[in-house]
A and B are shown apart, each in its own frame.
Chain A
Amino acid sequence: MENTQSYFETWLKAQEKLFDGLIENTKRTQQLFINQQYPGFSGDAGGFSNPYSSWMSAVMKSLSEPGINNQVIKDNLSRIFGGSNAYTKLYEVWLPLMKAAQERSVNPEAYKEYIDPSKYKELIDKVFGFDSEATKLMLNQAVQFLELLSGSGQQFTAPWVNAMKESLGAFPQLAQGHPESFMNMFHSMFNAFDNTVGKVFHVPPVGRDREKLELILRCFDDLSVYAAKNTEYQHTIYITGLTAMDKVVERLAEKITSGEEIKQFDEFFDIWIDTSEQAYYKLFKTEEFAKLQGELLDTSLDVKAHFFKLMESHLSDLPIALRSEMDDLYKTVYDLKKSVKKLEKQLKENAQ
């Protein structure tokens, strides 16, 4: 009887474990696909994009798994995702305007109060591939490095300051005829010297390290110039995007005035694409934009050039071929190939 009871208990416990596991897996799946802040079940259409985005992220992650060998398919899925993401983002941007339009007439001049500029900025970022996080990260690193440098400076002066304070404290004792205070002053100054200037005698030769330091500082300098130029460039793009949105609303209003109705989001999407494309084409055609774009490229290439030099400087001691060395080799190969081909051609012509 006891064995039967323990058997049933074991079986029951196994069932409990199985159901606990199922519940746990279901919760994990839900978390994967449903944003915990998703208000979708309350009927808010604006929250619709959240599970959709989560689902797409899951799909895109799976593309990195073996199984889809075709790179063109993978790349295309990624671009389709980008396109549909932009489509959905535009929907999110436009939704408040639509809601307001349902309640009352919409004034094209006042539509901006319904549009969230941060969401629109995200949409423009997607179209033009701007990544503000990357630039922020690089600038943060630059700032940290500079703080470290200035911290080092403070460390250099601090012992001297402390030594001066101690020396000042020793003067009264000296005046009272305590000769040992001289020794204290001497020790204090010596320690200050040893902790600061004295370290110079222990550092490696200044030449290459100094070069590296200068290159690092140059890189960060170039980076800040690039960031400034990039900001100017992005600002131009964003302003044009907002101007385009103004024109979109105007076009919508004109259509309605002339008796047409905008019944489908697709129609709005087409208007937005066409109007934006025209607005940006107008910008792109200007000399100012061409010049700005050229300057932006220049500043980015400066960063790249000095960064590569820095890398070469760091790697020069390793048993690998550096880029500058390979460049020489490629030039030699090119010159030799050219000579050989010329000689072969001459031989062939002579043989004929």
Chain B
Amino acid sequence: MKAPFLSFDAQSLIKELGDFNTKFIKGVGALTEIDEIDVGTAPKELIYAEDKLKLYRYSRNDPNTCSTPVLIVYALVNRQYMLDLQPDRSMIRNMLDHGLDVFIIDWGYPSKVDMYLGLDDYVNGYIDNCVDVVRDIAQSEQVNLMGICQGGTFSMMYSALNPDKVKNLITLVAPVDFSTNDALLFNWSKYLNIDALVESYQVIPGDFMNGGFLMLMPFNLNIRKYVDMLDVIEDKEKLLNFLRMEKWIFDSPGQAGACIREFIKYCYQENRLAKGELMLGDKLVDLRNITMPLLNIYASGDHLVPPAAIKPLNDLVGSQDKTLYEFKGGHIGVFVGSKSQKELAPAISQWLHDRDSAPESVAETAEESESAGIETAPEEAPESTSKKPGRRKA
């Protein structure tokens, strides 16, 4: 096909390039004026430490309205302060404002001495110890466990092994079924010689993980993002918002060799968790032992953990009260997007409040959740149900 005459104007193009470089030069100036990039500023108190792990309790000005504390288990591959990136985009602050007593695990930065830590150590060791500490400090028999991404997968494992300690389970963009090829990481992991990788590095460097994440969208993440950034570079607040995200993206901890070996091999490559074949220590992780209420949240546009890897959890657990919640957004937007702040944190809070008191009938719980706009569709509703649960279009 012959294209007609293309109306390019050399002078305007040169001007455009010149303008671009002017923005860039101004941007360099703006960047050099910034001293500090503050993240994770919600006040919190260190209440427990073990090896590199730190457990924090977020400070409240008023008493919590939900008696059962929330313990957040974040993934190992990134830092947990994503949930409190900046004051106006903080799921943590939002949850605190909605009356929740929030605890969070900071996994720290593994070093070579941690290379032999495996899944069993993280789930049955660290998480179990943190749960006991939270129960003790909050004077509560149980905790609400909220797991994010890989932390959600760990939370599922923990809840299956210790259902008596977990009152409610929330999993946020947490993969359980790794048989899908809907996302590149899932596809690539199948050909990853994780034994050789761990043998070579022992603690997989954060930069290595970042390299993999950037390869998912190399043009957008390596070029466009930084070119577009020049449009906001003169606005200090927007620039700081950008830099906070950048700080988080590239602040990736190393991964303890044994743990990542097991996670990739047993989950990504052999899908043992979904198949009911995963052993942690001498215990079998059977997801049917998860009988507490479950809120399973997925992001419809998630390119890292696709919905197909998340949704099956609702069919694998033994819970009667289980909710599948669709958030329209991406993997990161689910934490820091403005929509997330307005929609997700309040919904989570309401869902937990509804299940905070002594065990009720599923129908009453569903009715209260409906008022918060959350779909609750138990597989087997008791006969005493007077009102049918509503269905929320996310």
**Which among B37, B192, B193, B226 has the greatest number of chain A C-beta atoms within 10 A?**
B226
Interface string of B146-168 (1 = CB under 8 A from A): 00000000000000000000000
Chain B neighbourhood of A52, CB < 8 A: 21
- In this assembly, does B309 line the interface, its C-beta being within 8 Å of a C-beta of chain A? no
Interface string of A272-300 (1 = CB under 8 A from B): 01001100110011010011011101100
Q: How far is the CB of A296 from chain B (nearest CB, A)?
A: 10
- The A157-182 residues at the B interface (CB cut-off 8 A) are none
Chain B neighbourhood of A308, CB < 8 A: 200
Chain B neighbourhood of A337, CB < 8 A: 51
Chain A neighbourhood of B5, CB < 8 A: 101, 104-105
Interface stretch, picked from A14-22, A72-80, A206-214, is: A72-80
Instruction: For chain A, give the interface size range.
Output: 35 or more
Inter-subunit contact B196/A301 (CB<8 Å)? yes
Interface stretch, picked from B72-80, B97-105, B113-121, B383-391, is: B113-121
Given contacts A72-B37, A305-B200, contact A253 B10 (CB under 8 A): no
Interface stretch, picked from B85-93, B212-220, B314-322, B367-375, is: B212-220
- In this assembly, does A234 line the interface, its C-beta being within 8 Å of a C-beta of chain B? no
Q: How far is the CB of A100 from chain B (nearest CB, A)?
A: 9
Q: Nearest CB to that of A269 among chain B residues?
A: B227
Q: How far is the CB of A237 from chain B (nearest CB, A)?
A: 10
Inter-subunit contact B6/A294 (CB<8 Å)? no
- In this assembly, does B112 line the interface, its C-beta being within 8 Å of a C-beta of chain A? yes
- In this assembly, does A318 line the interface, its C-beta being within 8 Å of a C-beta of chain B? no
Chain B neighbourhood of A252, CB < 8 A: 3, 6
- In this assembly, does A201 line the interface, its C-beta being within 8 Å of a C-beta of chain B? no
Interface string of A91-106 (1 = CB under 8 A from B): 1000000110110111
Inter-subunit contact A72/B215 (CB<8 Å)? no
Given contacts A102-B8, A294-B193, A326-B112, contact A91 B226 (CB under 8 A): no
Inter-subunit contact A127/B8 (CB<8 Å)? no
Q: How far is the CB of B253 from chain A (nearest CB, A)?
A: 16
- In this assembly, does B24 line the interface, its C-beta being within 8 Å of a C-beta of chain A? yes
CA–CA, A265 to B115, complex, Å?
50
Chain A neighbourhood of B112, CB < 8 A: 326, 330
CA–CA, A233 to B4, complex, Å?
37
Chain B neighbourhood of A156, CB < 8 A: none
Inter-subunit contact B3/A330 (CB<8 Å)? no
Chain B neighbourhood of A76, CB < 8 A: 31, 243, 246
- In this assembly, does B35 line the interface, its C-beta being within 8 Å of a C-beta of chain A? yes
**Which among B9, B184, B218, B229 has the greatest number of chain A C-beta atoms within 10 A?**
B218
CA–CA, A75 to B31, complex, Å?
11
Q: How far is the CB of B251 from chain A (nearest CB, A)?
A: 8
Q: How far is the CB of B182 from chain A (nearest CB, A)?
A: 10
Interface stretch, picked from A82-90, A134-142, A187-195, is: A82-90
Inter-subunit contact A293/B200 (CB<8 Å)? no
- In this assembly, does A327 line the interface, its C-beta being within 8 Å of a C-beta of chain B? yes
Given contacts A72-B247, A76-B243, A293-B188, contact A263 B7 (CB under 8 A): yes
Inter-subunit contact B223/A72 (CB<8 Å)? no
Inter-subunit contact B1/A257 (CB<8 Å)? yes
CA–CA, A48 to B15, complex, Å?
11
Chain B neighbourhood of A253, CB < 8 A: 1, 3
**Which among A73, A277, A338 has the greatest number of chain B C-beta atoms within 10 A?**
A73
Inter-subunit contact B187/A261 (CB<8 Å)? no
Instruction: For chain B, give the interface size range.
Output: 35 or more
Partner of B218, one of A77, A280, A304: A280
Inter-subunit contact B31/A77 (CB<8 Å)? yes
Inter-subunit contact A84/B8 (CB<8 Å)? no
Inter-subunit contact B17/A88 (CB<8 Å)? yes
Q: How far is the CB of B250 from chain A (nearest CB, A)?
A: 6
CA–CA, A290 to B191, complex, Å?
6
CA–CA, A76 to B196, complex, Å?
32
CA–CA, A253 to B196, complex, Å?
48
Q: How far is the CB of B85 from chain A (nearest CB, A)?
A: 13
Binding site for A on B (CB under 8 A): 1-10, 12-14, 16-17, 20-21, 24, 27-28, 31-32, 34-37, 51, 112-113, 115-117, 121, 125, 181, 184, 187-188, 190-193, 196-197, 199-200, 202, 215-220, 222-227, 229-230, 243, 246-247, 250
The list of the 9 closest CB pairs from A to B, nearest first, reads A83-B226, A294-B191, A253-B3, A101-B6, A334-B116, A301-B196, A277-B219, A98-B8, A290-B191
Known: A88-B17, A330-B115. 17 other contacts (CB 8 A): A70-B36, A79-B246, A83-B225, A83-B227, A256-B4, A264-B13, A264-B16, A265-B17, A273-B219, A273-B224, A291-B191, A298-B196, A301-B197, A301-B199, A326-B112, A333-B113, A334-B116
Of the A-B pairs whose beta carbons lie under 8 Å apart in the complex, a sample of 28, sorted by A's number, is A70-B34, A70-B36, A72-B250, A73-B37, A77-B31, A79-B222, A80-B229, A83-B225, A84-B227, A86-B222, A105-B3, A107-B2, A108-B3, A127-B223, A263-B7, A266-B16, A281-B217, A284-B184, A284-B188, A285-B184, A293-B188, A294-B191, A294-B192, A297-B197, A305-B200, A308-B200, A330-B113, A330-B115
Binding site for B on A (CB under 8 A): 45, 48, 52, 59, 68-70, 72-73, 75-77, 79-80, 82-84, 86-88, 91, 98-99, 101-102, 104-108, 127-128, 250, 252-253, 256-257, 261-266, 269, 273, 276-277, 280-281, 284-285, 287, 290-291, 293-295, 297-298, 301-302, 304-305, 308, 326-327, 330-331, 333-334, 337-338, 341
